[in-house]
Amino acid sequence: MSSSGLGGLNRSPAGVVIGLVQLQNPNVETPAQLAAQTQRVVELVGKARRNNAAMDLVVFPEYALHGLSMRTDDAIMCSLDGPEVAAFKAACVEHRIWGCFSIMERNPGGNPYNSGLIIDDQGVIQLYYRKLHPWVPVEPWEPGNLGVPVCTGPRGVKLGLIICHDGMFPEMAREAAYKGAEVILRTAGYTAPIRHAWRITNQSNAFQNLAQTASVCLCGSDGTFDSMGEGMFCDFDGTVLAEGSHRPDEVIVCEMRPDLVREARIHWGVENNIYQFGHRGYVAVKGGAQDCPYTFMHDMVRGEYRLPWEAEVRVTDGTPCGFAPPQRTYKS
Catalytic residues: 62, 131, 164
What sign results for the dihedral spanned by CA atoms 264, 234, 22, 185?
positive
Give the closest residue to 207 by CA, choosing from 249, 240, 232, 162: 240
Are the CB atoms for 96 and 224 separated by under 8 Å? Answer: no
The rounded distance, in Å, linking the Cα atoms of 34 and 262 is 41
Phi, psi dihedrals of residue 191, rounded to the nearest 5°: -110, 170
14/257 Cα distance (integer angstroms)? 7
Burial class (CB in 10 A: 0-12, 13-18, 19+), 319: exposed
Helix 195-209 vs helix 170-178: crossing angle, to nearest 10: 30
